[in-house]
Amino acid sequence: MTAPTTEGDRMPPVGPVTVAASSLLRWGAGADDFSEIHHDDAAARARGLEGAVVHGPLQVAVLVEQLRRWLGRPARITDVEATYLAPAPVGEPLVFDGEVVEVVPGEAGDEVLGCELRSRRPDGRTTVRVLARARTGPAGPGSALPVEQLRRALRLGEVAGTFRYQVQENDLEHFARAHEREPDPSGRVPATYFGALDPVERRDLHLDGFLLELPFPRTGGGNAFNEVEYVRPLQVGDEITVTTRYTEVYEKQGSSGTLLFRVRENEMTDASGAVVATSRCGHVLGFAVPASGTSEVAGR
């Protein structure tokens, strides 16, 4: 597969391919997304769809993986931004393609490729569009963690994404089972459910995937903290708009290596525009950075 070098280079298309039911099942389990619209035609039609639909984030994952294979190493995908444009009915074949739309010089003597990727139905309608950026140069084993690059990718202080979710009864039932409790018969959602509306946890926002390509051994990672301040409880049927901003990126030395923190805030509003809750979440990744590497530390 020939890697891209100039603006206009096209990624070899994949498809038409029909997403297998087993793939949808595995994705739903892995992403904790058991919404009926992905496996129940009647439930999907009740929501105004043609029938059951393929998960949007699954299509994003296919496109990003295809781009990764096309670019090869040492290129690294640094930004991924997805827009969901149309439903993709289960059982209907899809074509995944894309091209380079921009090539600009990078700060380290490499190049940055801007790519547009698409998932398309047989009639040509685009179901998902992905804008991705990739750096073509290696991140050498002696380099420090890319704190400044991460700040740019996450657009600190700016809106990183806006997402709309509906609280559904089956979601509440699944959440209650996971916490070994019975759903509230009144339809009131427990306060801890606000954490389930985080776009990063739902795999709908993914701006820092390039961290997984760094040439340093991983020493751990996960949630550093989760805080929620809510104004009112949620109810089944609520439509919640979540606006996400990243606010901090910083580095610390820990017993297991260098720790890289990303902090984000979610503002949640209901259909009337009233704020129902705000949350603050921190994720951390640990890396074994060689002692000879120069480290750019962002203090707190």
Q: Is the pLDDT of residue 25 over 70?
A: yes
Residue with the larger pLDDT of the pair 296 and 68:
68
The mean pLDDT value of the chain amounts to 81
Domain 10-135 carries which CATH code? 3.10.129.10
Q: What is the mean pLDDT of residues 277-284?
A: 92
Collapsed DSSP state (helix, strand, coil) of residue 42? helix
The pLDDT tens digits for 69-115 are 888 756 677 788 888 898 888 888 999 999 999 888 765 556 788 89
102-111, 173-182, 253-262, range with greatest mean pLDDT: 253-262
Pair 69, 1: CB distance under 8 Å: yes
Taking the C-alpha atoms of residue 285 and residue 223, their distance in angstroms, rounded to an integer, is 9
Which SS3 state, helix, strand or coil, does residue 62 take? helix
Lowest-confidence segment of 2-16, 50-64, 197-211, 221-235 by average pLDDT: 2-16
Query: Do residues 121 and 86 touch, judged by C-beta distance below 8 A?
Result: yes
pLDDT at 250 over 60: yes
DSSP 8-class letter at 86:
S
Q: How far is CA 195 from the centre of its chain?
A: 15
pLDDT at 293: 39
Report the pLDDT averaged over residues 230-242: 89
Residue 143 clears pLDDT 50, i.e. is over it? no
- At 175 the pLDDT is 66
pLDDT surpasses 60 at 296:
no
What fold, for 147-287? Thiol Ester Dehydrase; Chain A (3.10.129)
- Rounded to two decimals, what is the model's pTM? 0.50
Q: Kindly tell me if the per-residue pLDDT of 118 is higher than 90.
A: yes
Identify which of 87-91, 177-181, 213-217 has the greatest average pLDDT. 87-91
Start and end residues for every CATH 3.10.129.10 domain found in the chain: 10-135, 147-287
Q: 150 in helix, strand or coil? A: helix
Q: What percent of the chain has pLDDT over 90?
A: 22
Percent of the chain residues topping a pLDDT of 70: 83
Question: From the centroid of its chain, how far is CA 270?
Answer: 22
